[in-house]
Structures are given as structure tokens and as C-alpha cells.
Amino acid sequence: MDAQSLIARRIAQELRDGMLVNLGIGIPTLVANFVPKGIHVFFQSENGLIGTGPVPEPGMVLPWLTDAGGKPVTALPGASAFDSAMSFGLIRGGHLDITVLGGLQVDRRGLLANWMVPGKMVPGMGGAMDLVAGAKRVIVAMQHTAKGRPKIVRECALPLTSNRPVDLVVTELAVIGFPNGQATLLETQDGVSIEDVIAATEAELAISPDLTKPAIVPISPGAVSLPPVGEAK
């Protein structure tokens, strides 16, 4: 399994039945492919859709039905479309159970930088700032290094997205949390040692006394789903 799929599969194990979940662009979109069997979640896109489905089949693309990154999606039966004001009301009102976002850097305290690289063109900041501030739980999906350089650092060199720490970072090497403001190694991926993770991390890592390997959870066929009508939670 490739690195991005490993990350997405592990994050999908954080989903619980009936959750309202926002998936950012990039690796986070893959989480929908690994929803555990028997779990029904509502996927929300900040451009105004709850109930996003899989990528449409060839020839079935609707140009007005896209995710927040502008990529074509489908809408599942029971989906709801609304304007950006309602969408950001849900986000800012604290109604999202989980947001999964990509990351450029995360520091030792869990502060995230993911919205711009100085000197490079940025089409817009998107909803990342609102999502980090408003979601009940924030999970970062990113590869552990970029061009050999650690992305989990002592201090972010890039502009911060929020002054609120994220809850979890999942990479192809490890799962890292931030209890009491300290980057803490919670899990290592199969075949990865603690030393491997430390060598690829700039920030100092505490080691959880309950350090584990990830469990493999069966996924649902088709993965993306809404609860049956009348069973929403």
C-alpha cells in the first residue's frame, strides 16, 4: 500500500457512526475510501454540500457539482446542498465532529501551517483557518518528510493556520498526538521503529507508555455512505 493510502486508512479508524466530517484536499480525500465496515458518516464540503459521494464515472461529471478544491464529486441519496454562509455557519458553530486537513508543517506543540508558502502564488486561504478553529477534532494527514526534510518541526517556519493546536498527526510512519502541548508518539506503522520516527522528526518526541501498532479494520464496500433515511444521528 502506498504512503498516502496508509495515512488515509489509519485516519478512517478515527471515524464513528453518525459523524459530520470535513475532508480537505489532497491526502484527506482518500479517507472516504477506507470507512470501516458498518460505519455511516456524513462528509461535508465547505463549498456547501453534505453527502458527497465518490468521484463520478467517466461521462457522468456535472460541472456545478464539485468539492472545495474544484474536483468533480457525486451527491449521495439524501445529500443536502446549501450556500457558503450556511456551510461556514456549520464550521464556525462547532458542528463538525472531525476535519481532516493536509499539512506543510506541524510544530512540537501541534500548531499547524498549511495555507501558504511565502513567495508562491496562493489562490486563496480556503477554509483551513475556520476548520482548525471550529471543528471539534482536527486531524492532519501528511507525509512525514518533504524532499528529505522533516515536516514535524520545533517551530513552524511557514505562516500558522491557527493558534489552536491540532489533535492528531498521521503520517506514513507514525501517529502523533499533543497531550499537554507535547508532541507524543502514540503509534508506529508496521515495520517502522521508534528510532525511524525520531530520525525523521525535528521536534522532540515524547514516547507514549501505551505505544501501539495500528489495528487493521475491515472497510465498507464502496466506503462512502450516508445513514439510511431515519437513522441520522
Sequence-ordered list of residues with C-beta below 8 angstroms from that of 51, at least 6 positions apart, any chain = 42, 43, 75, 76, 77, 78, 79, 80, 226
CB 140 within 8 A of CB 166: yes
Task: Determine the Cα–Cα distance for residues 70 and 68; give it in Å rounded to an integer.
Answer: 5
Catalytic residues: 46
SS3 (DSSP) at 181:
helix
H or E element in which residue 85 lies: helix 84-92
CB 197 within 8 A of CB 143: no
